[in-house]
Each structure stands twice: as C-alpha cells, then as structure tokens.
Copies of this chain bind each other. A is one copy, B any other.
C-alpha cells in the first residue's frame, strides 16, 4: 500500500494536505497544496473539497483560498481535555500566570522534543499566539531538562545524537548536560537563561504521576528583564516546585517511589 505498512493511502494523503497548512502561510491555493504534498492538482482539489465538507478546512469567500477550519480546533480541544496532565494543570497554571504576570507553560515529552499542552501569559510577558501543540528541543529549555530526568544517560545519548546550539549558552554536549541534570535533580528545579533564545529565561519543575515517574513539567518563563532571574531565582524556584507538586498530587503522586509499600 503506502509508505508504512498496512496504511490507508487516501487518509495519509488527506493528512499530508492538512500538514501543508502547518508550514508558514495560513492560506493556500489548490496548487500550493499540490506542490507542498507532491500530489496532483486534481487529487489535491478533491481532497480539499472533502476536507471542506468535514470542516477541517474552509474556503475564503472572496479569494477562494483554503485555510484550516474549525474541526481541528474542536478535535484539539477535546484531545487536551482528555489529557490527565492538562486536566490537573490547566487552572493551576492559569492562576500562577495571573498572580506573577509572567508566562506559565505545561509540557510533556514527545520523542526528542517537549510538547506544549498549555501556556498562559501575564501582563509582563504577553504573547498573541498559543504554544499549545508546538514542540521545542529538550536540551535547551527548562521544561525539557525536567523531562529528561526520566531517562538514563544512555537513553539521552541515543535520543539526542546531536544538540545544535541556538545561542552561545546552549548546552551542546552530553557531559555538560549530565552535570546540569544532576543539578536539576539535586535542587528539584531547572533553570534556563538564553539557551534557546536571546532575552528569555525560565524556571521549571517536574510533574510526577502516582508511580513517581516524571510525566510532564511546568515552567515560569518570560523576558529576562521581567523575570529578573539571577535575583529572584530562589523565590521563583520555590513557587514552581510547589506548583508542580500540587499538580503531581492531583495526578495521584504520593511521594518518592522507593518509599511506596509493595502491598496493594
């Protein structure tokens, strides 16, 4: 059949059409989609028509251009609402962002990336778009460092064969990453200052489930000037650890795994 084994070709093609809208420009012509997906224009036209009746894409009345429709928004919202971490963390993160006026983000690990489940901003760190559903590298973010705690040194090396730098501060070698993660584990929180983008910093802490496994992480982030990191590190660290803990407890976390009795 198609690329992988036992897959429905038409469905794969339709999804690749949807993926075409993820790459920059929000409005595409049929021929743009055809070029982006490698499909013929007639196939692209028909798939877009199908996706339009399903409300996955919609068509601009005047220009005739296609853009993403409302069905993906609904589907994404339900997917979020069904995610246990999101359910527990959403309101907590929102309250913290409002109290601090800074950004608060919740993410899980997906393969070699962190994947945002939610983000809220405050007056001091505004942002006109959602990060939800976006990915960022694990080794250059506070949340990412927390999520890496769940992996062994060997797993980290195979998961991240290369660590290209984003700024001069980016951790690019595993030896330094090992050291950094030991610190994170020891302190119970991670920091990141201009490792991914200039002028931005964050403080993050891991979220654990009832088995004690790190399943997610939460961070406070913002412009360096607003977050005032060197000075406020102790205060923000305490805050984010307490916040992460209350999410963990919501997920059933009861304490370090080695203290759990073996009885049911």
Contacts known (A7-B50, A70-B133, A130-B90); A26 close to B120, Cβ less than 8 A: no
B133 engages A49 (CB within 8 Å): no
Chain A residues 172-200 with CB under 8 Å of chain B are: none
CA distance in complex: A46, B78 (Å): 23
Task: Fill in one digit per residue for A9-30: 1 if any B CB lies within 8 Å of its CB, else 0.
Answer: 1111011001001100010000
| CB proximity of A218 to chain B, nearest CB, Å | 15
A18 engages B75 (CB within 8 Å): yes
Interface residue A6 (Cβ < 8 Å from any Cβ of B): yes
Contacting residues, chain B, for A72 (C-beta < 8 A): 72, 75-76, 78-79
Interface residue A82 (Cβ < 8 Å from any Cβ of B): yes
CA distance in complex: A82, B123 (Å): 22
A95 engages B78 (CB within 8 Å): no
Interface residue A255 (Cβ < 8 Å from any Cβ of B): no
Interface residue A56 (Cβ < 8 Å from any Cβ of B): yes
A110 engages B70 (CB within 8 Å): yes
A120 engages B94 (CB within 8 Å): yes
CA distance in complex: A94, B110 (Å): 28
Task: Fill in one digit per residue for A97-117: 1 if any B CB lies within 8 Å of its CB, else 0.
Answer: 110010000000010000111
Which residues in A have some Cβ–Cβ distance to B below 8 Å? 4, 6-12, 14-15, 18, 21-22, 26, 46-47, 49-51, 53-54, 56, 67-82, 87-88, 90-91, 94-95, 97-98, 101, 110, 115-117, 120-123, 126-134
Query: Nearest 10 pairs between A and B by C-beta?
Result: A76-B76, A77-B133, A98-B98, A74-B133, A10-B10, A26-B82, A68-B79, A72-B75, A73-B133, A81-B129
